[in-house]
Amino acid sequence: MSSKEKVYDAFAELIYAVVIADGRITQKEEEVISKIIKGHSIKLDIKKYFDSKARNISIAQSFMNTFEVCKQHGEDLEYPFLLKILKDIASVSEGLNNDEGNLLAEFIDSFRKRFKLT
């Protein structure tokens, strides 16, 4: 798996973890994801997680994994797009509790600082 594929896989897992936080995937979440990723390479990675229907993916563990994979990969012009997917999903997700929402905000903030994104 190439470095870029690892980044997509890590973000796909994280997106899935955010979506499944409440134990279910809503139609609104699916619509937002489909609209954002239409025609993008990450689509296949996200589909893999949704098809697997995994239930025990930790948001905290996914954050750490994604951050580590991206540090190894280095800077990438697609990071703002991938962060936008996370923010858009979180805005329609009904399953993020305060701790998870705070963790997501902290992840995005740390990610932006680490990779010097505006």
pTM: 0.86
Domain containing 84 equals 3-114
For residue 47, name the pLDDT band (cuts at 50, 70, 90): confident
The string of pLDDT tens digits covering residues 16-38 is: 888 887 777 888 888 988 898 88
Counting the structural domains of the chain, the total is: 1
Instruction: Catalogue the long-range contacts made by 55-62 (C-beta closer than 8 Å, 24 or more residues apart).
Output: 55/20, 55/23, 57/13, 57/16, 57/17, 57/20, 58/17, 59/14, 59/17, 59/18, 59/21, 59/100, 59/103, 59/104, 60/103, 62/10, 62/13, 62/14, 62/17
